[in-house]
Amino acid sequence: MGKFVIQGGGKIEGEIDVQGAKNAVLPILAATILNGGKNVIYNCPDLRDVSMTIAVLKNLGCRVKRQNKVLVVESDQISDCKIPEELMRQMRSSIIFLGAIIARCKKAVVSMPGGCEIGNRPIDLHLKALRKLGVDITEAHGYINCSAENLHGDNIQLDFPSVGATENIMLAACMAEGTTVITNAAREPEIVDLEQFLNRQGAKISGGGTDVIRIEGVKKLYGVEHTIIPDRIVSATYLAAAAATGGSVILRNTDASHMGAILAALREMGCRIYTEKARIILTAPAGRLKSIEKITTMPYPGFPTDIQSPFMSLCCIADGTTMFVENIFENRYQHVEELVRMGADIKVDGRVAVIQGVRRLSGARVVAKELRGGAALVVAGLAADGITEIENVKYIDRGYETIEIYLSACGAAIKREE
């Protein structure tokens, strides 16, 4: 399955072009099946999850071509409405195809999704919303069977601002009869990117980035070209790597406006940050990082759960005590045991983790158990004394495009071994 070998102690210094956003490209690729035309997607990252999504598209009957960061999807010949269990189990976000397949085919069959085991991520919000749009849903033998001869708009109040549920409603409702209004919708930048892609196709959606999204159903959508937004979580991870090693980094093709809570936390830790159009420049403090009293994960625009793990690695070597409160996923502290193996002082009680910063971490053999926790171990390994070996890098590959190449170009002593 491969591993990373890191010789810690060097500074991350250089410039990095940030990849396209994983959490934006996946629902947009699902949306390509809606129009039955040719779609050209630019700035598409080379990720394991993208490869899995391409496999789903091909299974449905789409023709897909890739050249570097450009993906061409032709969806005029959809031949199936079922996603095989082996594909669903490899990627939880594959549930996002449900709304798109229903809108295009009026029926869909999917198994319960898999993915990183970071806690309970029920899809009941998705199913409840789809039922309000007129979808008949039955669950049996691990499969979800959906049919909808007459999709219709409705008012949908989400119990929680779920990103996936908001996206599935948008995909299903954009070609439904009438108007759909989502209240307590997710506000993430990736939602805005999906809205812009759908509107380019001819959809009538407004309110993306707010907690109320309005969708007026249309009869027909058209193939388009679209450029994926930069990945704010990848941006934050590279900033954390530079901060942890006392270095400096310039990020290109990024968007600071998507990262308010993240940049505020880094500034509080003593980093100097300068932002301009599509660039972020970070310089770590000359001495130790300062601790942050409390970091609480929240839906956007709050502090993102996806960057909690790499920031915990920062706090492990900061001067003082930091409390983390994880409000999104109850099992997102799987990296803690591995950080403790490296010398971190962390105590966990339910959703709360308390970190007493130490001066140095020590290299060790550790295991990535999920995507963002794996990134946290990379950050920790770069800052640690000695050699760190990180196993199970397949999880890191789900969201980071050849992370070892980008970091090596900035002075890191990191290599991949199969």
Q: Is 279 annotated as a binding residue?
A: no
Annotated binding-site residue? 121 = yes
Residue type, 243: A
122 marked as binding residue: yes
Which residue out of 62, 116, 315, 410 is catalytically annotated? 116
CA distance 355 to 336: 10
Task: Please check if 306 is assigned to a binding site.
Answer: yes
Residue 98 CA to residue 83 CA, distance in Å, equals 9
Contact 178, 203 (CB under 8 A): no
Q: Residues 6 or more apart from 34 whose CB is under 8 A from it?
A: 75, 100, 103, 104, 171, 174, 175, 198, 201, 221
Distance CA 229, CA 276 (A): 16
Cα 403 from chain centre:
15
Give φ, ψ of 43 to 5 degrees. 60, 40
Q: Is 92 annotated as a binding residue?
A: yes
Residue 412 vs residues 45, 354, 399, 401, 404: alpha-carbon distances, Å: 22, 29, 19, 16, 8
Sheet holding 82-83, edge to edge: 82-83, 107-111, 143-147, 136-140
Active site includes 116?
yes
Residue 371 in marked binding region: no
Residue among 9, 10, 6, 21 at smallest CA distance from 254: 21
22 is in an annotated binding site: yes
**Which residues does 328 contact at the CB level (< 8 Å), separation at least 6?**
297, 298, 299, 305
Q: Is 150 annotated as a binding residue?
A: no
Is 27 annotated to bind ligand?
A: no
204 appears as a binding residue in the annotation: no
- Residues acting as catalytic residues: 116
Annotated binding site for UDP-N-acetyl-alpha-D-glucosamine: 92, 121-125, 306, 328
Binding-site residue positions for phosphoenolpyruvate:
22-23
Residues annotated in the binding site, as ranges?
A: 22-23, 92, 121-125, 306, 328
